[in-house]
Amino acid sequence: MTEATDNEQKTIRLGELLTRAGIVQANELSEAVQTSSETGLPIGRVLIMSGYLTDQELQGAVQAQSMVKDRVLELDLALKALQSVSLEGLTLEQALKALGWVNKRSSTTATLGEFLITAELCTQEQLDEALRTSQETGLPLGRVLVLIQAVTDDLLTSALTAQVLVRDNKITKEEAIQALASARRRRVSIEVSLSDHGFYKPPIRQSIKLGELLVLAGILNESDLMTALELGLSKQIPVGQVLVQTGQMTRAGLDAALKVQDMVSDGTLHALQAAEALRQVVLKNISIAQAVAELGLLKSDPSETIRLGEILQAAGVLTDEDIKKAIELSTKNSALVGKMLLVSGMIDEGMLHSALRCQFLLREGFLKMEQAVVALNHSQKNRITFDEALQQLGWTLRARPK
C-alpha cells in the first residue's frame, strides 16, 4: 500500500465513502451538508430524511468507515461491498462474505487467555474458572477476571491494548507477551514497557483513541470501554461498531465521535477540547460546528477577540470585582472563566450559554457590541435564549459564513 493510499484510509470521511461507492451523488451530499449546517442534524440522518440513503446503507457505510480506519478492511474492497449493500440490499457482513473477504488478522491475534497465561498475569486455574463463569453468565472473560480479582483493571487494560497492537501489526505476539510480563513486574503501563524494550513507540503526532475520547467526554466509563474493546477483539470488529450494536451509542453519535477524533488528528482541536465538544454534541443534540463555536474553540485573530468577561461586564451582569475573582479561580483550577463563573454561582447555565453564543456572534461580525449588550440583557430579563432575544428584538442574522 502506498503512503498516499495509507493516509487516505486513515482520513476517509463518511460522505466521501458514500459518493465514491456511488450510493450518493456529489450534489446530494452538498445539499445534505448545507442542511446539516443549518439544522444541526448529522449528515447521515439528513441524507436518510431526504430519501438519498437508506438506514441499511448508512449502517453499512459507518461500519465500513470504522473498519477502513482501523485497517481491518482495504478501501477498494469497502467500496465494492458498499455497492453490493446498496444494489442487493445486503448487510455489510453479507456483502463482504460474498466478495470472499476474510479477516486475515484473526490468525495473528492471540486470545486474551493466551496473553494472560503466557505473560503470567494469572494462573491456569483462575483462567479456567473465569471461562466457566463467562460461559454461564455471558459476561466477557476480562470483566470476569477482574470481578474474581484474578487481574487488576490496569493489567486487563494492558492485555487488551497489547491485543490491539498485535491485531494492527504494530508489534508481534512475542513482543506483546514479553512487554506484558515486564509491565506486570515493574508496575508500569504497557506503552512504557514496549517503549523501554524498543518494540513500539506511540506516534508523535497528536491523536486520541476513540475509546479514550468517549471516556474523556463522559459518554462511557472505563469498565464499559474495556468490555466493548474485549468484545470487539473477540468478534474482530471495531469498538465503535460494538458500542452501536450493544446500544451504548447511536450511529449518529459514533459518526460525530469519529469526526471529532479526526479534528484532533489534523490539529483543529486538542484532546480535552474535542472531548468537551463531543459531550455537548451528545447532551444537547447539536452539530459539531455549533458545539465548537459555543465552547469558544474556534481560532480567531487575537487582536479582534472579545473576552467573555467583557461582554458580561458591559451588559451589567457582572462587576469588575466578579471578573477578577473568576479569573483568579480559573487560573488556580486551569478552567475557563465562564465555567468558573458558573461553578462559583455568579451566573447560571442559561446566562453562560447566552454569553458564549453572544461571544461567537460578536467575534464573527454578526453583531455590534451595542446590540450584543441589549440582547444579552433582554435574554437575562426574560429568561430566554440569546437567539430568542435576537428574534424578539427583530434582529435577524445573515447566513453563517463558510
pLDDT at 176 over 50: yes
pLDDT at 402 exceeding the cut of 60: no
Helices of type H across 319-399: 320-333, 337-343, 349-363, 369-382, 386-392
Residue 51's pLDDT is: 85
Q: Are residues 97 and 111 in the same domain?
A: no
Q: Based on the domain organization, do 220 and 307 belong to the same domain?
A: no
pLDDT in tens, 43-62: 777 788 888 888 888 878 87
- Determine contact, residues 81/64, Cβ cutoff 8 Å: yes
Q: 37 and 76 share a domain?
A: yes
| Last residue of one domain, picked from the residues 262, 294, 326 | 294
Domain membership flag for residue 47? yes
Task: Tell me how far CA of residue 127 lies from CA of 117, 130, 144, 200, 239, in angstroms.
Answer: 8, 5, 9, 28, 24
Mean per-residue pLDDT, 363-374? 77
Quick: pLDDT tens for 262-315: 888 777 777 777 888 888 888 888 888 778 777 765 444 444 445 666 667 666
Q: What is the distance in angstroms between the CA of the first residue and the CA of the last residue of the chain?
A: 35
Residue of 376 and 304 predicted with greater confidence: 376
Torsion 110-183-194-223 (CA) sign? positive
The residue out of 147, 162, 197 marking a domain boundary is: 197
| Residues 88-138 pLDDT 10s | 988 888 888 888 887 655 444 457 888 888 888 888 888 888 888 877 777
Q: 220-229, long-range: CB within 8 Å, 24+ apart, which pairs?
A: 220/248, 222/153, 222/157, 223/143, 223/153, 224/248, 226/142, 226/143, 226/153, 226/156, 226/157, 226/160, 227/140, 227/142, 227/143, 229/160, 229/164
308, 289: one domain: no
Q: Is residue 234 part of a domain?
A: yes
Contact 99, 90 (CB under 8 A): no
Looking at the fold, whether 91 and 114 belong to one and the same domain comes out as no
Residue 204 included in any domain: no
Please tell me whether residues 98 and 153 are part of one structural domain: no
Asked whether the predicted pLDDT for residue 72 surpasses 80, the reply is no
- The answer to the question of residue 341 being in a domain is yes
Q: DSSP letter string over 51-76?
A: TS--HHHHHHHHHHHHHHHTTSS-HH
Return the C-alpha cell found at 271. Answer: 484532546
Work out the average pLDDT over 152-170. Answer: 82
Rounded-to-integer distance, Cα 191 and Cα 52, Å = 44
Number of compact structural domains in the chain? 4
How confident is residue 202, by pLDDT bands cut at 50, 70 and 90? low
Whether 10 and 95 share a structural domain: yes
**pLDDT-based confidence at residue 203 (cuts at 50, 70, 90):** low
Among residues 147, 172, 197, the one where a domain terminates is 197
In terms of domains, do 117 and 61 share one? no
What whole-number distance in Å separates Cα of residue 178 and Cα of residue 298?
Answer: 45
Identity at 226, one-letter amino acid code: M
* H-run or E-run covering 21: none
pLDDT at 83: 92
Distance between CA 152 and CA 121 in Å, rounded?
9
Q: Can you tell me the distance from the alpha carbon of 15 to that of 32, in angstroms, rounded to the nearest whole number?
A: 10
Give 40's pLDDT tier (boundaries 50, 70, 90).
Answer: low
Domain of residue 249, residue span:
210-294
Whether residue 205 is contained in a domain is answered as no
Question: How far is 260 from 132, CA to CA, in rounded Å?
Answer: 40
Is 379 a domain residue?
Answer: yes
